[in-house]
Amino acid sequence: MSACDPGGLNSATVAFTTDQTVTAELERQKADVQWLNCTGSYDGDGDGKSGGATASANTVVKVDCEGETSDGKDIVVTGRITRAVSGSCVRGDLVAKIGGKEWFHVNGLGDCDATPSPVNPSGGGQQPGPTVTVTVTKTVYCKQHPNCWPEGK
């Protein structure tokens, strides 16, 4: 039984977790991260399939991150992730560059023994169940300009 993402390797979860763990590692190494944005997409798993809802041993999520340090240097992170715990760890192959110079090249970041986020506040020593990540979007309209109201719904 694996502690990493029991429901399968999800590209959005991998992108979010890579963003979190890479930012933490760069900050730990004294790189002042202004912003970082990561995207994830399924990489071919060797047999022509694109990876389904359940991760197999060959499922890979390709991550690409772009960002900037507070002094204006470009941050570029690329990698192929094979395991993840939401918000806590990624495993695979990650390379981070700042200003074109390799900053680190690792096989993973974070703690894969950690409880996936969101953390179960009740504790109780029980193994965590599957978690659900919810994204809430709030749209704000400008009332003073009637042309900016959305069409449709």
Phi, then psi, of 15 in degrees rounded to 5: -60, -45
Residues 6+ apart with CB under 8 A from 47: 58
pLDDT digits (tens, 9 = 90+) for 31-80: 999 999 999 998 764 443 444 444 455 678 999 999 999 999 999 999 99
Measured CA to CA, the distance from residue 116 to residue 102 in angstroms comes to 30
Q: What is the pLDDT of residue 8?
A: 61
pLDDT category, 147, cuts 50, 70, 90? low
DSSP bridge pairs for 104: 96
Per-residue confidence (pLDDT) for residue 152, from 0 to 100: 47
- Could you give the CA distance from residue 150 to residue 128 in angstroms, rounded to a whole number? 41
- Over the range 7-34, which residues count as b (16 or more CB within 10 Å of their CB) and which as e? eebbbebbbbbbbbbbbebbeeeebebe
47: β partners: none
Q: Mean pLDDT, the chain, as a whole number?
A: 73
On the question of pLDDT at 28 being above 70, the answer is yes
Give the mean model confidence (pLDDT) for residues 5-18.
Answer: 77
For residues 103 and 76, give the distance between their C-alpha atoms in angstroms, rounded to a whole number.
Answer: 10
Rounded Cα–Cα distance for residues 69 and 142 (Å): 33
| pLDDT per residue as tens digits for the range 120-145 | 333 333 344 343 444 444 455 455 55
Summarize the confidence of residues 78-100 as an average pLDDT: 92
pLDDT surpasses 50 at 119:
no
Residue 49: its pLDDT value, please? 42
